[in-house]
A and B are shown apart, each in its own frame.
Chain A
Amino acid sequence: MSNAVAVRDRYLETLLNQATLAAQNSSLALDTLRAAARAVVQERTFPSSRDENWRFTNLSSLLATDFQTPTGLDESVLAQAKERLHDISLDNTGKKVVFVNGTFVDGLSHLGDGVNVLSQLAVPECLAQVHGSNEVFTALNTAGFADAAVVHISKNTVLEHPVQIVYLTVGDALLVQPRCLVIAEASSALTLLEEFHGTGSSFTNSVTEVWVHDNSEVHHLRLQQESAETVHIGKTAVSQARDSRYRATALNLGASISRHNLEVYQAGPQTETPLNGLTAIGDQQLADTHSLIALNHPYGSADQLQKNIMDDRAHGVFNGQVYVPKPAQLTNASQLNRNLLLSPKARIDTKPELDIVADNVKCAHGATVSQLAPDELFYLQSRGINRDQAQRLLVYAFAMEIIEPITVAPLRERMTQYIQQWTV
């Protein structure tokens, strides 16, 4: 074993020890699940850029920090959390689950109507059962998440207001492991808004599992707006039963290094999966979106649009896998990745990966990389708009294709404002 591998293995072990500590502090009855997850982590190594899956996303900067399991929440932490919550309020009577440093905060939350936390429920059998649970960071989360949001919508129920789940991190060198389980029973519908915010320099390792049962619809909005020093690794794993619809918009704005693994597994025919994503990063940020749409039944449709804006020395990564094996006949899949580079030092690595075996399908994919068009800039300038403002208008236009269709108005307005004020 080389020295570098040994260092990474030891590091993974210290992370696992911290996760285990968090598990011991937690009241959740998950011994079997946790033990299995620990065993998985122990078999794995901490990823390096030699792993194909992590080729462009170098996590070695993590190794310099010994992240600790958060201890109790003091008043100042809660005060900061409250302030942030005020800014992101949806201003409605919908349900809200708030975690601060991985700990559920009842006083800031509004439970009910199928929206709860795991510590107050019997453990659902489907917890940690979506495909891909053996991935190292997912297993690390299972081994040590402190509590979990559980959104369980019963059959034939339609939630009128979005459910907002907020994960706030306040502090430095913390290992925070948010967890969420969503179960939409047959013919139900809900809108879920997950938001990641924080201050300080911590490591967020989140996992969200979504079970979309027959004929149900989950509209999932995910905003990652962590502090500039945070490392964020997030997993969204979705199982989609027949005739269901899973629609997602993922917004990646914050963190120094972020990685979103979005995995959708088709579990029945005739599913619909429209996926939108927007990454807007600057400075030396890195944002990596790895998506996987695994079809295995006929008549499925997947429609993915990922847009990335990179300024300064920022580095975007997109890897979009779509599997269309033999049983997935009459699939209709399209994937488009559009990238806007605002500076000569900005970088994008994009890799569409379509694996198509079925022969009677419609599949399309494409990736574009562009800079702001000089002629468009000149046109705007010739109307009296200065260069800076003209650039903003064009960046705004690029981003609005993702932001405009967001149906949760307060989020849409917040994002519109964010992009308008985003410096280019």
Chain B
Amino acid sequence: MINPDAKTILSVKDLRASVDGIEILTGLNLEVKAGEVHAIMGLNGSGKSTFSKVLAGHPDYEVTGGSIEFNGKDLSELEPHERATAGIFLAFQYPLEIPGVSNREFLRVAYNAHRKARGEDEVDVFDFDDLIEEKTDIVKMDVSFLDRSVNEGFSGGEKKRNEILQMALLEPTLAILDETDSGLDIDALKTVAEGVNKLATPNSANLVITHYQRLLNYIVPDYVHVMCSGQIIKTGSRELALALEAKGYEWLLEEQAVTS
């Protein structure tokens, strides 16, 4: 939902980032305000996932230029866990399996880390159990998944639900959904999208990274951005996503070549 008076959550200016010395982001600009849903589309290798990892603070990616401000604060000095407690949440394209750590324990430790960062008391095991079991409804997850190791042996759909469950629990200001639709059948896709929509608030924003417009039928974006070679080369409304779906990326790249 676009509200011109809403406050700016994320402001990215001329962002450059490299991995292993190779520049992947080459001057990216983006502004996200509270209440908005932004979609970033683009071909493989255009830098979409790199952008999401840079926002979350992955140590393999080096920011070499530009700036990222989150709620008016410079992100560059924050460790990944500090970005998380500040309100950034990255739903992984490939959520990791962590054998031996129970999902319930993991969620509780993460939740308490957020509470601690806000200066609140940690919740005990019993209160947490009540809370998390309530949250599982949002993503229609069976509570038995709480007592398994984190993502271990989960199907693709279950892993993505588990990501949205974490989002429901941690209530981020900015949720970055990295290819959340990949590997999902249509039912799982709907469930995940419904979960994301239920969690939307006027004070938070979603950044949806996807190849396909399919997901955007369910999570309807206010803005669609197209990334190419590490930059956003075009921004439009939802219709842009439909045009990309119908015509592919070629015309856009050609148009780009003509104007530059």
Contact = CB atoms under 8 A, between A and B. Distances in A.
Interface of A: 374-376, 378-387, 389-390, 393-394, 396-398, 400-401
Contact of A381 (B60, B84, B100, B170): B84
A387 B98 contact: no
A339 to B, nearest CB: 15
Given A384-B113, A384-B170, A386-B81, A396 B96 contact: no
Contact of A383 (B57, B99, B166): B166
Given A397-B100, A400-B100, A381 B80 contact: yes
Interface residues of B, number: 30
Of A379, A387, A389, A393, the most chain B CB neighbours within 10 A belong to: A379
B92 interface: yes
Nearest to A373: B96
B96 A375 contact: yes
B189 interface: no
Contacts of B60: 374
Given A382-B90, A386-B113, A394-B98, 6 more contacts: A382-B92, A383-B113, A383-B166, A384-B113, A384-B114, A396-B101
B2 interface: no
A378 B106 contact: no
B56 interface: yes
B79 A381 contact: yes
B214 interface: no
Given A382-B80, A385-B81, A386-B81, A397 B113 contact: no
Contacts of B110: 380, 383-385
A178 to B, nearest CB: 33
10 tightest CB-CB pairs across the interface, nearest first? A397-B100, A384-B84, A383-B110, A381-B80, A384-B113, A379-B96, A397-B101, A384-B85, A381-B81, A386-B81
Given A378-B58, A396-B100, A400-B100, A385 B92 contact: no
B19 interface: no
A397 to B, nearest CB: 3
A380 B56 CA distance: 12
B106 A380 contact: yes
Given A384-B85, A396-B100, A397-B98, A378 B113 contact: no
B98 to A, nearest CB: 6
A376 B110 CA distance: 14
B236 interface: no
A378 B106 CA distance: 13
11 contacts: A378-B58, A380-B98, A380-B110, A382-B80, A382-B83, A383-B84, A384-B81, A384-B117, A389-B113, A397-B98, A397-B100
A23 B166 CA distance: 64
Contacts of A398: 100
A387 B114 contact: no
A386 B166 CA distance: 16
Interface string B95-110: 1101111000110011
A374 B59 contact: yes
B85 A379 contact: no
B89 to A, nearest CB: 8
Contacts of A381: 57, 79-81, 84
A383 B106 CA distance: 9
A256 to B, nearest CB: 29
A393 B106 contact: yes
Contacts of B96: 375-376, 379
Of A375, A381, A383, A389, the most chain B CB neighbours within 10 A belong to: A383
Interface string B118-151: 0000000000000000000000000000000100
A396 to B, nearest CB: 7
A387 B81 CA distance: 8
A118 B117 CA distance: 59
Contacts of A386: 79, 81, 113
B56 to A, nearest CB: 5
Nearest to B88: A382
B161 to A, nearest CB: 16
Contacts of A385: 81, 109-110, 113
B95 A379 contact: yes
A397 B151 CA distance: 14
Contacts of B83: 382
A389 B79 contact: no
A387 B79 contact: yes
Contacts of B117: 384
A393 B81 contact: no
Contacts of B113: 383-386, 389
Nearest to A398: B100
Given A383-B113, A384-B114, A385-B109, A378 B80 contact: yes
A302 to B, nearest CB: 24
Interface in B8-24: none
B59 A378 contact: yes
A342 to B, nearest CB: 16
Nearest to A385: B113
Given A382-B56, A383-B113, A387-B79, A376 B98 contact: yes
A190 B122 CA distance: 42
A279 B113 CA distance: 29
A382 B84 CA distance: 6
A421 to B, nearest CB: 15
Interface in B54-89: 56-60, 79-81, 83-85, 89
Contacts of A384: 81, 84-85, 110, 113-114, 117, 170
B105 to A, nearest CB: 8
B62 to A, nearest CB: 15
Nearest to B149: A397
Of B59, B101, B106, the most chain A CB neighbours within 10 A belong to: B101
Interface string B166-184: 1000100000000000000
